[in-house]
Amino acid sequence: MDAIVVKGNGPLKGETHASGAKNAALPILAASILAEGQHTFRNVPDLADVATMLKLLRTMGLEAERRTGKRSHECTLEWKGVVHPEAPYDLVKTMRASVLVLGPLLARHGRARVSMPGGCAIGARPIDQHLKGLKALGADIELTEGYVEARAKRLKGGTVSFDVITVTGTENIMMAAVLAKGRTLIENAAREPEVEELARVLNKMGARISGAGSDVITIDGVDTLKPVDHAIIADRIEAGTLLVASAITAGDVLVKNAVPEHLEPVLQKLREVGCQIAVEAGGIRLKGPERVLAADIKTKEHPGFPTDMQAQLMALLSSAKGTSVITENIFENRFMHVAELRRMGADISVEGPTAVVRGVSKLSGAQVMATDLRASASLVLAGLHAEGKTTIARVYHLDRGYERLERKLSALGANIRRIKG
């Protein structure tokens, strides 16, 4: 297992860029199931989770998949009809987003056998809302031997009112409804930019979706869809992480491709703690203060403060002037990074969904362990700031959602390298 070694090395300076959005690419690749022919996707990030999704699609019968070189991040997918509609446990257990094939398989092929995702480091993350929605569209759902067995001659439009706002739940139902007979209403829908991006792609394929980005989405089913050529939006969470790297080192960094509207609550918080932020040259520039001020954070569904940026802000606030209170409202166990940050000298106490972060003047390098994707990013950020050397083990977590993060940071002046393990 690879590790990353990082040493505090002063302010980061220069220009970097955000790659394609992981959480847009995954549902979009799954949506390719909905139409025969050749799809072309551009700005596909080179991530472990994307590789897992492509591997899953190949086991299901994806005929061709060609990445024309890492630089262009282009991916062509071709389906020729024969599909083995199954997502096996060994793939689903490595990537929960595999459940995103459920809706498209049902819509296009009338049946699906998808392993229930197991537990996850950050929370139970059930898929009850996904299944509730599919049943509302007429699917027969059975749970046998840890698998969801779903069947439907042809899904029919209906109203799906989520009890819980769910991003992939909204995406799964949207992909199921585009080929259903009649109109579907999704109420209490997730409003994330990645949900809007998926609707954009589905409409380019010939679907009739309106309201994506709001909490009520209307889908009028059509009979067939056509393949698509699409460039995926930039990753707002990677962009936010790179901006925090500038903030935590009192740096001056421009993150190109970052879309301010996708990051509003994060930019507001970074301004609140003393960062100067400018929208310029097709991206966002952040100048960090010598030492940030404390601030309180409550994660919320979009357009609230994103849970996927909570760990990164905790790393930043660990050396703030004053005490910050961070409340994690989305996942019940998303403080795994706290114990590791404490090993670096952070003064953090956790009580249920709330972490109290008393800022210390300086963190110190230590050996730490990544536990989940965003926790590993927060440890890299803390290492950029800390005095001395930080070694982060199990960075396969990081590789799931960041495209060669250490190279991007090193190009900005960070003293960081990967040790092959």
What CA–CA distance (Å, rounded) separates 301 from 215? 11
How many residues interact with ligand EPZ (rule CB under 6 A)?
Answer: 26
DSSP annotation of 217 reads E
128 near ligand EPZ, rule: CB under 6 A: yes
CA distance linking residue 275 with residue 286, whole number of Å: 7
Return the structure tokens found at 408. 């991007």
Told to judge if 120 belongs to the known catalytic residues of this protein, a careful annotator would answer yes
Burial of 356-380, coded b for 16+ CB within 10 Å and e otherwise, reads ebebeeebbbbebbbbbbbbbbbbb
The three state secondary structure string of 255-306 is: EECCCHHHHHHHHHHHHHCCCEEEEECCEEEEECCCCCECCCEEECCCCCEC
Q: Interface with ligand EPZ includes 126 (CB under 6 A)?
A: yes
Q: Does 125 bind ligand EPZ (CB under 6 A)?
A: yes
- How is residue 217 written in tokens? 């989405």
Residue from 21, 106, 167, 297 that binds ligand EPZ (CB under 6 A)? 167
Q: Nearest approach, Cβ of 289 to ligand EPZ (angstroms)?
A: 27
Which one of 97, 148, 180, 217 is in contact with ligand EPZ (CB under 6 A)? 97
Q: For residues 4 and 190, which CB has a smaller minimum distance to ligand EPZ in the complex?
A: 190
Report which of 326, 408, 331, 412 is spatially closest to residue 372, judged by C-alpha positions: 331
What DSSP assignment string belongs to 354-373? EEEEE--S--B--EEE--SH
Nearest CB to ligand EPZ, comparing residues 8 and 133: 133
- The single residue among 108, 130, 262, 385 that binds ligand EPZ, judged by CB under 6 A, is 130
- Contact range with ligand EPZ by CB under 6 A, out of 69-77, 82-90, 123-131, 363-371: 123-131
Catalytic residue among 64, 68, 84, 120: 120
* 6, 12, 26, 369: which one binds ligand EPZ (CB under 6 A): 26
Q: Is 29 in the site for ligand EPZ (CB under 6 A)?
A: no
Task: Confirm or reject binding of residue 213 to ligand EPZ (CB under 6 A).
Answer: no
Site residues for ligand EPZ per CB under 6 A: 22-23, 26, 96-97, 123-130, 164, 166-169, 190, 307-308, 330-331, 373-374, 401
Catalytic residue numbers read 120
